Amino acid sequence: MNTKSTSGHFPTNNPRTVKHVSIFTLVCLLMVASSSVSGRTAIGELYGELRSFLKKPIEVEYSAIIDFEVTDSELLDYVSAARFSDDSEKVDEILVELFDYALLVNVHRWLNTQPPPIRNFSSEPGLRDFLIQLWFFQQEKLESELKSYEEVRFPWTRIPKILVVLFPRDREVHDFVWSIHNPAEPTEPAATLLLLDSEEFQTTKANNLRIATLLSDGPEIFRLIAARSLGRFQSLEGFETLLVTLRDSDNRSLASVIIEAIILYGYSALPHALEIHEVAERFGVAEGTELAVLTDHVVFPTPYDLTFFGEDASTNRFVSALRDLERMTVNQSKLQTRAEEPQP
């Protein structure tokens, strides 16, 4: 193990720069200052907060978390040193590192990319509890000072995403996600759905939210996330909901994502093969249709959860589903033939 540098990081020959502050963030801060704070004292406190924020580290040149040469025990010591340091800058810096690591893990899970070092953070429940307490402390402080502050992305606001990735299927984290779920917010239920997906939790409560969202008349993006989630986190109720929604959908993108989710249920999709073919044909896709080159797609606007929209992307979903159905049909036929052959 190399010794730490004077900056408090493990040295490296390949520093990795992580951008943390954007002009948009600063604009939001100034908008809040002009519209959400009354009184000279409150405005002064806000600008003090802004000045303090600007002094905090906005770049992490190197992250020990993604260094394969750093062992888990060394890394946990490194993280613990930051959280017990009583230094807000070090805490912010470690939150940035943890968040970027969480993004890498999530991309690997969804897209099967090269994984970063798989860290055993779940062995440190003290870190989980620290992050939960820090989030609630900062949230309470925020609400007492500013009422419309959600667009501002301080490092601590990333804690929910850090928790669900670092502590998957953890009951305390699951309860935390639901404690911050607020259906009244315009970004709900998408934010909660994405957290539940990253958390890899398949509970009745989580599936009920996915089902209710898909059956709702909410924004298309919410329903797309819910449909894909019901394919990944499978249940009988989820499967039936996908089928019902498919029959009623006249939305090409949604229908293609629903069919993609249904196919994930494997051979359970075969009894519905004719219906899937009919839906695909209704949107202009047949068995002979070739995969399209994506030229008109739009990327789902988060770096960790990629979904493609556009007619070409929908076409490819339909084509892939029809090919998967054909493969399953052939395989099932072979299995039936073998089963019917006389045994020696």
pLDDT computed for residue 175 by the predictor: 93
**Band of residue 110 on the pLDDT scale cut at 50, 70, 90:** low
CA distance linking residue 208 with residue 191, whole number of Å: 15
Pick the closest to residue 240 from 214, 222, 219 (CA basis).
214
Q: Number of C-alpha atoms within 13 angstroms, CB side, residue 4? A: 11
- Sign of the Cα torsion 186, 188, 189, 193 reads positive
pLDDT computed for residue 22 by the predictor: 32
- Sign of the Cα torsion 334, 339, 342, 344 reads positive
pLDDT digits (tens, 9 = 90+) for 28-40: 333 333 333 333 3
CA distance linking residue 49 with residue 27, whole number of Å: 14
- Name every residue whose Cβ is closer than 8 Å to that of residue 111 and which is 6 or more positions away in sequence: 306
Q: Please list, residue by residue across 92-122, b when 16 or more beta carbons sit within 10 angstroms of its beta carbon and e when fewer do.
A: bbbbbbbbbbbbbbbbebbeeeeebbebebe
For residue 107, pLDDT over 70 is answered with yes
pLDDT digits (tens, 9 = 90+) for 142-157: 766 655 444 456 888 8
What Cα–Cα distance (Å) separates residue 272 from each residue in 129, 243, 249, 266, 267? 46, 9, 16, 11, 10
Mean pLDDT of the chain: 76
> Which whole number is the average pLDDT over 55-78?
76
pLDDT digits (tens, 9 = 90+) for 249-306: 899 999 999 999 999 999 999 999 999 999 999 999 888 888 766 554 444 444 333 3
pLDDT computed for residue 54 by the predictor: 40
For residue 217, pLDDT over 80 is answered with yes
For residue 18, pLDDT over 50 is answered with no
pLDDT computed for residue 141 by the predictor: 80
> Which whole number is the average pLDDT over 304-324?
75
pLDDT computed for residue 238 by the predictor: 96
pLDDT digits (tens, 9 = 90+) for 173-184: 999 999 988 777
Among 67-76, 121-130, 185-194, 258-267, the range of highest mean pLDDT: 258-267
pLDDT computed for residue 280 by the predictor: 93
- Name every residue whose Cβ is closer than 8 Å to that of residue 136 and which is 6 or more positions away in sequence: none
- Judge whether 79 and 90 are in contact, CB under 8 Å: no
Q: How many CB atoms lie within 10 A of CB 297?
A: 16
Per DSSP, 19 falls in state: B
